[in-house]
Structure 1
């Protein structure tokens, strides 16, 4: 009997030891799994953070590129405008470079024309040679004027235009409309599209009532006579 009981006790101890061993193995396996899961979660979290960091840096890089492109477009536009403005200024300088000297030359040209008119009005026997010399000089100056696109502003018979004419007096006329150029004292001149000197003119105006009455009275007297 005693021997049987001892065997039972030994088997019981062996079963308990075996169960404890299995439990320890299971616990070890669970710990390994938990460690692996924790390590995996950490790696995934780091990967997510790394991806977010890359996306943020990529977004910053795109914003920087957009900023640089915008700056390039503005700088390029400013450069083109500067080039156009420079070309225009250089063109205007060449176009109107002779303006100052031509303004100084116009009075000389006027005097030559007056001299020609005066010589032609005289009966001097030697005036023909003088006339030829003045005419030659005038033609040479006119040739230079044509070369630099200098044109006379002839206001005779034209409607008064303050942009091109300078009124130095008025004359009452009943045979033409008001503000018409009656007489031109001095020609004006243009350099391309720029006015060098306005034409000096006399402008027509309507007769006053008093003058109209006087003229009517004189006409009646002539009829009665």
Structure 2
């Protein structure tokens, strides 16, 4: 029974196709082709949109990456500039403070030299105490990077020394420093105070 029904339907479908006019068949084919074309257009449009979105994302990434690199470079420059300013301010502060303390050290030296003329036990103990204070002061300054110039016997250098007297003496070399009238101090390559000296020949 089912086979007869199926055969009947196929026969009706075949009869329907045979009864369709050529125009109707043509319209049906055109509709089918149009549907296929629409599907192809949809695929092309979707692919174009994906490529456009991908291109936009790449451009956005490049822009964000460029901004990030610029920010990193700016921060690095800011950090270096800040550190340089900090170092300069620290060095300048140490320079000013140590320069202000130099007269105190000079007075300690004078007091120690004067105490050598006295022979009493009390005077000797006082001189030893002043010498300890002087050594401690020099250690503190050394910890800050400040050093006393050791220029006795060295050749005169106007970058570090100030000559106030000139002596002709063949027992000394040319331009040799034979006496230090006031000690000089230096921090790194900066002179805090020039050494005041006497120079031979």
TM-score (norm 2): 0.69
Maintained 8 Å contact 2:98/2:141 = no
Cα distance change on mapping 1:168 and 1:66 into 2, 3 Å: farther
Equivalent residues in 2 for 1:97-176, closer than 5 Å: 97-120=93-116, 122=117, 129-149=122-142, 150-176=146-172
- Give the distance between the partners of 2:69 and 2:52, measured in 1 at CA: 26
Report what 1:58 is aligned to: 54
CA displacement, residues 67-111 of structure 1 (integer Å, 9 cap, x when unaligned): 212322332233344345545655665666543232122112112
4+ residue stretches of structure 1 with deviation over 6 A? 21-24
Deviation at 1:155, TM superposition (A): 0.7
Count how many residue pairs are aligned between Structure 1 and Structure 2: 182
Report what 1:48 is aligned to: 44
- Give the distance between the partners of 1:45 and 1:168, measured in 2 at CA: 100
- Give the distance between the partners of 2:32 and 2:165, measured in 1 at CA: 111
- 1:29 equivalent in alignment to 2:25: yes
- Give the distance between the partners of 1:76 and 1:36, measured in 2 at CA: 60
User: Which blocks of at least 5 consecutive residues in structure 2 are unaligned?
Assistant: 1-16
Cα RMSD, aligned residues only: 3.3
Maintained 8 Å contact 1:169/1:203 = yes
User: Which blocks of at least 5 consecutive residues in structure 1 are unaligned?
Assistant: 1-20, 206-225
Deviation at 1:153, TM superposition (A): 0.6
TM-score (norm 1): 0.63
- Give the distance between the partners of 1:191 and 1:88, measured in 2 at CA: 17
Maintained 8 Å contact 1:148/1:191 = no
- SS of the aligned residue for 2:154 comes to coil
Equivalent residues in 2 for 1:165-204, closer than 5 Å: 165-191=161-187, 194-204=190-200
Cα distance change on mapping 1:43 and 1:180 into 2, 3 Å: farther
Range that drifts further, 145-154 or 94-103: 94-103
